[in-house]
Amino acid sequence: MSKGLNDSRTDFPILDQEVNGEPLVYLDNAATTQKPVSVLQTIMHYYEHDNANVHRGVHTLAERATEQFEAARDKVAAFINAPSRKTIVYTRSTTESLNWIASSFGNAVVNEGDEIVISELEHHSNVVPWQQVAKNQHATLKYIGLTADGELDMDDARKQITDKTKIVAIAHASNVMGVVNPIKELAQLAHAHNAYMVADGAQSTPHLKVDVQDLDVDFYAFSGHKMLAPTGIGILYGKPEILDEMEPTQFGGEMINEVHEQAADWKESPWKFEAGTPNISGAIALGSAIDYLNNLGMDNISAYEQELVDYTLPKLTQIDGITVYGPHDPAKHTGVLSFNLEGLHPHDVATGLDMDGIAVRAGHHCAQPLMEYLSCEATCRASFYFYNTKEEADRLLDALNEVKEFFANGTSKAERTV
């Protein structure tokens, strides 16, 4: 077995196991990624040596915990080229980040008759919060369509984004179609109409170099668990002048400046958004995950994943009876490969693959409007990260043929080889 990018595989002990008698092939990275030993050790070290609540105590452990918590924030800021730590708010996840933007900023700037523009390929967490804003404010939610290839239709974007638009909210990379959307161009379009640009970075931040200042987005949201960190830690980036104006959505300890019987005021950003005890170990572990990614180099990660796609996609599209969603040109496709096999339910395909030790996702991928748009109920999705190998891609391709054979003729590999 080759070792993934820079022999990284051995850093992920979970990958070294058998599932149903076969070596595990983990291809569900768009759902969540595995964690390297260094991140696991960071968590362990924090609880063994430094655990204390942040921003509160003057004792040594509290100072150490606070220092590491804020140092991790600096690492996040540098990772996405944000101008300062003040623009980085710790949340639980992309979902929470997007909900905060919608419920605080969205409800404040969207008025009756205004329009919010999203696209047909959004994850539910970048759909439903905007539906709520549209309902609350009597505004209209509009969708940018896709090209026949499954890319965002920029001609349609130019039609949908108008002077009535207040917010444009688009995924930087799709969790189903395997495309990267032109966020910089969309931000320019949005700003030309005095609208704000929100980007959902859940599927982009783990895989490509993100520069929020170059993209000129007003908000950017992503999740730690999709980029080697634990679950329960996410990031909301906002332009400093916007975060300064934005009201918190949660209130309580930590976020206040002063509290009196009838009134209170808040700290400055980002701390005014972080009410209560935060996910301290999660934030510090996210810093450690960023160290790991920086060590590999985001450009190397993107290039290696592209190699995997160049290798796999042409072979995948050649399987008889397969529909592969998104562009068939590997140069336009990320490591998220969604497909269906003719006549087979994606859950049956995923179960068949699991019998071969291969973990893929089957379902609507929290993108039901997209499924409706594509006129399919569900898909199978195999998604790469830098620790995957071409041999694993071959295992997937072979197993798909096996699954087809099994459902067509009722014979499994084991039965045919006796």
**Residue from 8, 94, 119, 269 in contact with ligand PMP (CB under 6 A):** 94
Two tokens, residue 26: 């983990």
Specify the residue, 73 or 207, whose C-beta has the smaller distance to ligand PMP.
207
The CA angle 391-397-402, to the nearest 5 degrees, is 120
Two tokens, residue 314: 């042409």
- Smallest distance, Å, CB 228 to ligand PMP? 13
Specify the residue, 346 or 352, whose C-beta has the smaller distance to ligand PMP.
346
- Smallest distance, Å, CB 204 to ligand PMP? 8
- Roughly how many angstroms between the first and final C-alpha of the chain, as a whole number? 26
Residues with catalytic roles: 366
Going residue by residue from 168 to 187, which x/- string records binding to ligand PMP, judged by CB under 6 A? ---x---x------------
Specify the residue, 43 or 128, whose C-beta has the smaller distance to ligand PMP.
128
Tell me the pairing of strands 88-91 and 234-238.
Answer: antiparallel
DSSP codes of every residue in 55-104: TT--SHHHHHHHHHHHHHHHHHHHHTT-S-GGGEEEES-HHHHHHHIIII
Going residue by residue from 21 to 50, which x/- string records binding to ligand PMP, judged by CB under 6 A? ---------x--------------------
- Smallest distance, Å, CB 200 to ligand PMP? 5
> What is the Cα–Cα distance from 52 to 60, expressed in whole angstroms?
9
> What is the Cα–Cα distance from 66 to 204, expressed in whole angstroms?
29
Q: Cα 178 to the chain's mean position, in Å?
A: 12
Specify the residue, 33 or 137, whose C-beta has the smaller distance to ligand PMP.
33
Number of residues that bind ligand PMP (CB under 6 A): 14
User: Could you write out the three-class secondary structure of 392-403?
Assistant: HHHHHHHHHHHH
Stretch that binds ligand PMP, among 199-207, 250-258, 355-363, 396-404 (CB under 6 A): 199-207
Residues 113-132 that bind ligand PMP (CB under 6 A): 123, 125-126
The residue behind tokens 């859950």 is 347
- Smallest distance, Å, CB 230 to ligand PMP? 11
- Rounded to whole angstroms, the maximal C-alpha distance in the chain is 80
- Smallest distance, Å, CB 178 to ligand PMP? 12
The CA angle 75-78-79, to the nearest 5 degrees, is 80
Stretch that binds ligand PMP, among 65-73, 80-88, 196-204, 261-269 (CB under 6 A): 196-204
Q: Does 165 bind ligand PMP (CB under 6 A)?
A: no
Which residue, among 195, 239, 236, 194, has the nearest Cα to 216 in the 3D structure?
239
Specify the residue, 225 or 395, whose C-beta has the smaller distance to ligand PMP.
225
Residues 200-259 that bind ligand PMP (CB under 6 A): 200, 202-203, 223
Specify the residue, 30 or 118, whose C-beta has the smaller distance to ligand PMP.
30
Going residue by residue from 328 to 367, which x/- string records binding to ligand PMP, judged by CB under 6 A? --------------------------------------x-
Q: Does 95 bind ligand PMP (CB under 6 A)?
A: yes
Helices (H), 210-252: 212-215, 240-245
The CA angle 207-87-270, to the nearest 5 degrees, is 125
The CA angle 115-222-124, to the nearest 5 degrees, is 50
Specify the residue, 52 or 128, whose C-beta has the smaller distance to ligand PMP.
128
Interface contacts to ligand PMP, rule CB under 6 A? 30, 93-95, 123, 125-126, 171, 175, 200, 202-203, 223, 366
